[in-house]
Structure 1
Amino acid sequence: MNRIHIEGAIPLPPPEKARRQSKDGQDHEQKKKHFQHLLQPSSPSTQLKEDLNPSLSPLGEQWADYHIVSGVLTGTVIRVSFAQKGFVVRLTCPGDIVKKRVLGLRKRWERELVRIGIPCFLEVSDATTSPP
Structure 2
Amino acid sequence: MDIRVQQEAFDYGAECGRFGQGDGQAGAVVTFLGLVRGSGGLSRMEIEHYPGMTESALAKIAAEAEARWSLADVLIIHRHGPLAPGEAIMMVATAARHRKAAFEAAEFLMDYLKSRAPFWKKEFGADGAEWVAAKDEDEAALDRW
User: What's the TM-score once normalised by structure 1's chain length?
Assistant: 0.28
Structure number with the higher strand fraction is: 2
- Higher relative contact order, structure no. (Cα contacts within 8 Å, ≥ 6 residues apart): 2
User: What's the TM-score once normalised by structure 2's chain length?
Assistant: 0.27
